[in-house]
Structure 1
Amino acid sequence: MSEQRAAEFVEADGIATVRLNRPALTREVKEELLAALRGAAASTTARAVLLLGSAKAFCVGQDLAEHARILEEEPGQALTTVREHYNPIVLALEGIQVPVVVGIGGACVGAGLGFALAGDVRIAARRAKFGTAFTGIGLASDSGLAYRLVSSLGQARAMELMLLGTVVGADRALELGLVTEVVEDDAWEGRAREVAALLASGPTSAFVAAKREVRSAADGARDLPELLEEEADLQNQLGMTADHAGAVEAFLAKRAPTFGGG
């Protein structure tokens, strides 16, 4: 029997599933996760992406045993992993145009929290815990975490989590907006798959455009007239799709629409 990969990518029924099989990020795990995410992003048939960890942990960030060894043996190389691995992983997640559902079964801290927040919908088990962890080991954050926290929570809450190292449970994470939904501990993966399947059966082109609109609004780089122009352009494009025409026809006929993704 072949050894289980540290991270893997499979696709079925319009869903590209990327799974982290080890919670701590060694070099091997980071390289395999990056390859899996790039595979998902490159798929021309996936209509949703599902990012999963294990029931024990989604991701606990850098493997500190490996990090300590590199600090001792090659101190100049210890933090090159940020540019070599973490930044490309986040950009690979950002480059996925279809909806990304993240299933969180346990601990989600450090870079793991940054990865989770790069998704679009987050389903968490009630046992899950969330924290930044970086300042506790004398580092600032990476993996786009500060950017995501400010976008999701605002500056004050981001400062609390970053400076005080506050660890929050799933229910508190839901209140703060870190996760979309909290379910019982034995239901997190099933619910995440259910949501991914729902999105994979929906109007894919509209979802891609909606993600683009939300990101444009969230980054604050454009003013309202520019955002309105982007909306008009996207609506013009979507108005010519088969999914739009079929949905209008279904509405008038008082039946549920069926979306082909185009």
Structure 2
Amino acid sequence: MSRRLEEILSNPEMQYLINNANNIENIQKYLPILSELAKKVKKHNTWFIEGLARCRVPYKDIEKYIDLDEILIDNCSIVGNIEIIRQLRNQKQDYQDYYVSSVIDIVCKTSEKTLEQTNKIEEYLTEKKYKYRFLPPDIYVIEFKSPNIKIPNQFGVYRYIDTEIEKQNLRIYFLIAAENNIIIRRNSIIEVVYIENFALFSLLFKFYRYTEKDKKDLEKYEKSREGLEKIIDKGFHEKDLEKIMKIFGKEERDKIMKKIKSYVDSHPDTIYKKLLELNIWFYRAY
């Protein structure tokens, strides 16, 4: 370990962050020291470890035991495939056999809403008499190999809940985080963002990544054309659009539009044609 990295990790401010990783209200105040830590992580021999037994489960298994509509509060949004399916599920029964992650990521607009969302989930699980426990913040860690030191990779206000539904032999994890939380990755530092229409953002991310699985997912979503159209037509609020333009730089936005056009070329009647209107949003600043 370099002397500078040792100095950062032993700094009282850094020690406070490590010891209180998921209970820090004013996390932006600590952005300078976390940014410096992130630079050192990039240069040193480190591992990123996830301590969850993440797997893929049928959406119907989650829906049978967890009412996502009931537990989700205002100013909190679910992220990823599961949110797309949640909004499309009433359109077609086909989605009942669709597989999603056993980890349910929820982002809330404020730290207060994050704690309120946590309480709502806890009350629901208690009412249903499901086994659950809160997990420590070091479930996701950065591990330095020399010497062996582990620290959380997220700082701010967040909670991890491990839920066991015995009758189904099903384990679900809730990850609830506040906007502006800071996450350290191997090559970067990112800030958690809250976007009201995370379903639309998740669609865009599929075009950004555009693997074979993503293409199949996009095709499957079109079976619920009406529901998909509602997601797209809802669009983004001004503030959310500004966040998205920070997440995706011009090169990334170009890539997304190129993949959308490629999909439209091979699927002439696709509802995703509407996404081409994103050109107006994506490039108006240029």
Higher RCO, Cα 8 Å, sep 6+ = 2
Name the TM tier (shorter chain): under 0.3
Using the size of structure 1 for normalisation, the TM-score is 0.26
